[in-house]
Amino acid sequence: MSLDLTLGLQRAAYPDFGQVHYMVDSDYRTAAQGWSRADRTGPLDLYEAKKAGRGGVQYVYRTGDYTSDAVALQAANDQLVDFRGDAIYFTPGAYSIATALVIDVPDARWLGSPVSHPTLARASLTAAVAAAFGPTAAADRMEIAYLQMVPLTAGTMWDFGAVAGLNMHDNFYNADGITANTATIFVVLATAAEFATFKNDYVWVDGAQGPWIRTAGIMKGLRVSDFQLFVEAGTWAVAINAAGVGATSVDVGPGNISGTGTAALTSLMTLAYKTVDDSNGHVHGIRASTHGPAAGSLVVPTTDVATIDLSDCWLSVVADQAQPTFTSGGNISWESGVPYTG
């Protein structure tokens, strides 16, 4: 196997012209567990070999060489070049960020090891301070994938500026064991953010937390697809809060909602007054267990006028009861739809 992980990663999974920089959790494994090997192919061996870099540029950032994980990650991010598609590759481990980072590189990529399901993510990012991750408006088209996200109680984890083209996919948003608080939010998108995409994500909560995604105001082109929401305990009020006045062209689905015990999700989405035409988006292909929203509460308005289309959304019931579809909430326009034919 080649020792040039950069070339291998780029060819195998993320072909691009950008440079890959590596985050290494110094505490993840001991030498006896495989970090250093007799044939010099262990992760720390690669780190030592690449530390000096080429042309004086550092490519590997070992947390133990810095005063904190945040300082190490900031150093790695500061090496990324604008518009080139440079990446930070997080080797397996846990990275706790207790100082807010400055993230302002367009076309940057933050990547963990590709896995078959988000819950298998081998690298975790933990917010130990509010807005630990705060990409500015300059950080357009940022890709964030294959990572586990652990929020801070009563704080926002990812606080995005007015970015365009955000791409978050294959992430595990994990609030398991986090003290419940409705101010605990995974992602906030600022006013004027546009064309953000969330795809193939898994969200786990075990209490009354805040939303997974919140739009702060005017926004267009939000796309949330192929998600799984699981409520382990308590009542989760809403997963997607599009209550910022002016959000348009929202597309949500397909997605699954499930839970256990008496846990429940009250609403998949809240929606404020919108100012365009008849419909401001589409919620479709939702499959909810009995832990999902009630039939009239899949999408709930927060003002007198809020319109969105619903189609092909189904709510499970206990055995021997009639199968309902989701219906409209107050002031939400709704169409049941008809099957497409050839």
* Nearest alpha-carbon partner for 199 in 146, 122, 267: 146
Distance, CA of 46 to CA of 34 (rounded, Å) = 12
What confidence tens digit (pLDDT) does each residue in 80-108 have? 999 999 999 999 999 999 999 999 999 99
Distance, CA of 186 to CA of 45 (rounded, Å) = 35
Q: Which residues pair with 300 in a beta bridge?
A: 270
Tokens 């939702």 belong to 286
pLDDT of residue 11: 40
Q: Which residues pair with 90 in a beta bridge?
A: 23
What confidence tens digit (pLDDT) does each residue in 207-238 have? 999 999 999 887 789 999 999 999 999 999 99
* Cβ atoms within 10 Å, residue 176: 12
What confidence tens digit (pLDDT) does each residue in 103-134 have? 999 999 999 999 999 999 999 999 999 999 99
pLDDT of residue 34: 60
Question: Helices marked H in the chain — which ranges?
Answer: 5-12, 43-50, 69-78
Tokens 């989760």 belong to 236
pLDDT of residue 6: 43
pLDDT of residue 339 exceeding 60, the answer is no
pLDDT of residue 1 exceeding 70, the answer is no
Q: Read off the amino acid at residue 281.
A: G
Helices and strands, number each (H, E), in the chain? 3, 30
E strand or H helix at 315 = strand 314-315
pLDDT of residue 324: 63
Distance, CA of 295 to CA of 279 (rounded, Å) = 20
pLDDT of residue 315: 86
* Nearest alpha-carbon partner for 123 in 103, 149, 94: 94
Q: Read off the amino acid at residue 150.
A: V
Contact 69, 95 (CB under 8 A): yes
What confidence tens digit (pLDDT) does each residue in 240-259 have? 998 776 666 889 999 999 99
Q: What value does the mean pLDDT take over residues 56-65?
A: 82
Distance, CA of 205 to CA of 185 (rounded, Å) = 11
The sign of the dihedral angle between the CA atoms of 302, 307, 312, 317 is positive
Let me know if 217 is exposed, middle or buried by CB neighbors in 10 A (0-12, 13-18, 19+).
Answer: middle
pLDDT of residue 304 exceeding 80, the answer is no
Q: In the structure, what pLDDT confidence band is assigned to residue 273 with cuts at 50, 70 and 90?
A: low
pLDDT of residue 218: 77
pTM over 0.75: yes
pLDDT of residue 21 exceeding 70, the answer is yes
Q: In the structure, what pLDDT confidence band is assigned to residue 326 with cuts at 50, 70 and 90?
A: low
* Cβ atoms within 10 Å, residue 323: 8
Q: Read off the amino acid at residue 257.
A: I
Q: What percent of the chain has pLDDT over 90?
A: 57
